[in-house]
Each structure stands twice: as C-alpha cells, then as structure tokens.
Amino acid sequence: MDFSRSVLDIDAEAEIIRISDFIRDIAHERYKRKGAVIGLSGGLDSAVIAELSVRALGEDKVLALFLPEKESNPVSLKYGQKQAQKLGIETIKVDISENLESLGAYENRDLVIKSIFPEFDKSYKFHVTLPQDLLEKDRLNYRSLTIEDLKGNRKKTRISASDWQKISACQNLKQRLRMIQQYYYAEKNNYIVSGTTNKTEILQGLFVKFGDGGVDIDPIAHLYKTQVLQLAKKLGVIPEIINRPPSPDTYSLPVTDKEFYLCLDYGLLDLLLYAYQEHVPIEQISSTLELKPEQIQRVFKDFKMKGHATWHMREMPPILDTQTKCPEV
Amino acid sequence: MDIKSKIRTFVVENFLFGKDAGLDEETSFLDEGIIDSTGILELVNFIEEEFHIKVEDEELIPENLDSIANVVKYLERKLGR
C-alpha cells in the first residue's frame, strides 16, 4: 500500500474546478437557488469556501456574514473583512452577543465556572483544553478549565463530566445561533447555506450538530485540513488567514484546535487519520512517520474513542418508516 | 454491596440502561463503545463520591478505569485493601 508523507497532496487546480462545479450544480440544479450564504469566520475553511463559491456562482451571488460575539477574537472580523474585500462580495455583520444573552448562554455558563473558581467574574478570560501528551502516554481524555485574570495569572483544574456538559451546551449556542442567522439571510435571498466543515473535523467530531453542521452543502467535507490549506494557497486566500493557527474562536482566552480537542498538529493528525481510515499497516506508518508503534496505537485509540462519542453527529435523524422519502429529483 | 457489584450496577444503570446482557468484567468500556470519554468522567465522579477518594489526573488511564475488573483493582489499591 502506498503511504508516504505526500499521500495527501492533491491537484489543487483540478480540485478547485471540481468543487466549484459541485457548488454550482447543487445550488442551481438541485436546490434551484440563486446564490450562497457563507459565515466568514476569519478562518481558513470559510475563506476557501468563499473563494470557491465566487468561482462557482459569481461575486454578486455570494453573501458573506460576519457573526461575531463579545468573546470572539477581534482579528477574526478583521481578517474576514479583508478576505471579503479581496473577493468583492457583499457582506453583512450581525453581532450575536444579544441573542446569546437572551438565551442565558453567558450567564448560565459563568455560573458553572464560578462554582469551580469562586473568584471568576467578567474580568476573567477562560478556555477548556484536553491533555496534550497523546503521543507520550496511555491516558484517557479529560477536560481542564483554565481561567486567566487581568494580570495574566492563570489557574487550571480538571472539570467533571457534568460541568463540561453544561459549559459545552452554553458554548454550542454560539454555532447554533450562527446557523439561525445564516438560514435567515439565505431564505430572504433564495440562497443556500454553505458549510465550511472539513473531513478532519467531521471524522473527529469537531463541529456542532445543527450548528456549523447545519447547512445545505458541505463543499470541502471530503478534504483533510491540510488539503484545504493546499487549496487556500492556490486560490490566493489572504496570508493572514493562511498563517493563522486554527482555532474554534469560541473562548475568551484564545485556544487552538490542537489544545481544545485534537491534541496533534494538523500536519501529523491528517496523515495518521488517513492511515487509520485506510488501514495502513502499523509498521509502514511507523517507518514513514518515524513514530513508535505504541504511539500510533495511542492515537488510533483516541480516534476510535472520538468516533464513538460523536457518531450520532454524522447521522441523519432515524426514521421508523423507511418508505418515508421523496421521489428523487 | 461489594466494590465489584457497585461498579457493575452503576455501569449497567447509567450506560446500558438496565440491560446487563452478561457484561463481562474484563470487557473494555471504550473499545466496545459502552462508555465514551465523557462517560468515563461520570464514572470517575461516581467513584470519588461513593468511595470518598480523589482520582488524580495521572490516574486517568485505561489500566485503572477501562473495565469493571480494572476499576476494582484500582479501587482496592487506592483503598489499601
């Protein structure tokens, strides 16, 4: 079996044409819609989707939404605006902080954090992380909460399943509210909502069900993150976005995708994920990536656990009567 | 109820919804998809409250928590039994 460090290299130009054709076909032929709405987050994936959508539908048929909230990194908006300007597409900014306040997202979440760290208040920032020693040790995943005061002093502690579930439910409201706004503007304009989730995120469960997972089309869901990066370079996405460390951008204290959930850099993660999916022999992975077999086994166990924990997110809702379906369009 | 029975009862009630189906004490919770990583932390919470112990971060390893047998051995060491 062919497995090398370049196994994920793609013909970016050909893939750009293929995906652009796909977007056009789905929007026009399948859904009979005129254009696409994209939540432009200032990150790599949405920038690539915006580029591809313009190629597919034309710059006057792509609407970029900026959907910041009070805990978003300010550079996200700045980079998103610059990328949109480069493409010449229409943009609308909708700050979702008030929506989140009305749902009690911040208040309910902060109550949980305060029950763990009584000193926590609005002056503090926080984030949640997984242990970062996946290659080094046999260990189970557990979440740690870190708070930081105005002077930069930090405290960190492991949190219980119950506390994580409450914090996560509040945090996921951010992605779900963005979905609501995207569908509002899409339906107003007779557009589709384009997703921005990539294959690495889907396989690992790094998305929110009916949040950033609630879309009409997922044009890069077949590509690993490192392949999306190849497209970004070919498409001419702005360098600030290309060079920016990937982040969920949902925590007031900045955290990368690696620290929050993935535990590995995308370069290595994608190769191991590919090898796991394609059942590449451990010995071959070991010699190609210069990792010990036990390190690879640890990562594969992590993939299996995350896959089990998130499988329901990749499924359509079950239907009792399998005859309940529309005729093929 | 002894340690083994308490652990088995907790796992069956919370993750198998009452269906014991002959859960083997050596069965890996994670490999068989019986408990996911969040569920393991629920198990940790139960152990800490039920047995009045603190599970340290470095003790969160499969060897200590990934089957009924492993949990029992871990608790017996921790409780000095």
Each residue's pLDDT tens digit, A38-57 = 999 999 999 999 999 999 99
Which residues make beta-bridge pairs with A91? A64
Distance CA B32, CA A196 (A): 32
Residue tagged 């970016």 (tokens): A12
The percent helix, strand, coil of chain A (3-state, each to 5) is 50, 10, 40
Q: How far apart are the first and last CA of chain B?
A: 16
The alpha-carbon gap from A150 to the nearest alpha carbon of chain B, in Å, equals: 28
Listed in order, the ranges of chain A carrying CATH 3.40.50.620 are: 12-101+167-311
Task: Kindly determine whether residue B36 and residue A309, on different chains, have CB atoms separated by under 8 Å.
Answer: yes
- Chain B residues lying within 8 Å of A309, measured CB to CB: 36-38
Task: Kindly determine whether residue A141 and residue B31, on different chains, have CB atoms separated by under 8 Å.
Answer: no
The candidate with the shortest Cα–Cα distance to A231, out of A58, A42, A16, is A16
Closest Cβ opposite residue B65 in set A140, A301, A305: A140
- CB distance from A138 to chain B under 8 Å? yes
CB-based contact A43:A76 (threshold 8 Å): yes
Residues of B with CB under 8 A from a CB of A: 30-31, 33, 36-42, 44-45, 57-58, 60-63, 65-66
Bridge-based pairing state of the strands A125-129 and A35-39 = unpaired
Bridge-based pairing state of the strands A191-193 and A62-66 = unpaired
Classify A92 as helix, strand or coil.
Answer: strand
- Chain B residues lying within 8 Å of A139, measured CB to CB: 58, 60-62
Count CB atoms within 10 A of the CB of residue A308.
19
The candidate with the shortest Cα–Cα distance to A260, out of A205, A186, A221, A324, is A205
Which residues make beta-bridge pairs with A12? none
- Chain B residues lying within 8 Å of A138, measured CB to CB: 61-63
Distance CA A42, CA A34 (A): 24
Domain A12-101+167-311 annotated CATH 3.40.50.1820: no
CB-based contact A193:A182 (threshold 8 Å): yes
Sign of CA dihedral A108, A109, A110, A114: positive
pLDDT value, residue A324: 62
The alpha-carbon gap from B36 to the nearest alpha carbon of chain A, in Å, equals: 5
Q: Side by side, which strands form the sheet with A35-39? A: A90-93, A62-66, A35-39, A191-193
Q: Side by side, which strands form the sheet with A125-129? A: A125-129, A144-148, A154-158
Residue A72's identity, in one-letter code, is: S
Task: Kindly determine whether residue A140 and residue B38, on different chains, have CB atoms separated by under 8 Å.
Answer: no
CB-based contact A65:A91 (threshold 8 Å): yes
Tokens of B16: 């198998």
- CB distance from A168 to chain B under 8 Å? no
Say yes or no to pLDDT of A329 above 80. no
Average pLDDT of chain A? 95
* ipTM of the shown complex: 0.90
Residue A126's identity, in one-letter code, is: F
Distance CA A171, CA A101 (A): 12
Task: Kindly determine whether residue A158 and residue B61, on different chains, have CB atoms separated by under 8 Å.
Answer: no
Tens of pLDDT, residue by residue over A58-82, are 999 999 999 999 999 999 999 999 9
pLDDT value, residue B19: 85
Which residues make beta-bridge pairs with A191? A35
- CB distance from A165 to chain B under 8 Å? yes
Distance CA A47, CA A170 (A): 26
Chain centre to alpha carbon of residue A22: 21
pLDDT value, residue A325: 62
Tens of pLDDT, residue by residue over A156-206, are 999 999 999 999 999 999 999 999 999 999 999 999 999 999 999 999 999
Task: Determine the residue of chain A that is closest to B39 in CA distance.
Answer: A161
Distance CA A12, CA A228 (A): 9
Poorest-pLDDT segment among A244-258, A298-312, B63-77: A298-312
Q: Which residues of B5-30 are buried (b: 16+ CB within 10 A; e: fewer)?
A: ebbbebbbeebeeeeeeebeeeeebb
Tens of pLDDT, residue by residue over A127-146, are 999 999 999 999 899 999 99
CB-based contact A55:A234 (threshold 8 Å): no
Closest Cβ opposite residue A158 in set B30, B37, B57: B57
Task: Kindly determine whether residue B37 and residue A141, on different chains, have CB atoms separated by under 8 Å.
Answer: yes
CB-based contact A12:A231 (threshold 8 Å): yes
Task: Note the pTM of the prediction, 2 decimals.
Answer: 0.93
- Chain B residues lying within 8 Å of A301, measured CB to CB: 30
Task: Kindly determine whether residue A140 and residue B62, on different chains, have CB atoms separated by under 8 Å.
Answer: yes
Tens of pLDDT, residue by residue over A271-288, are 999 999 999 999 999 999
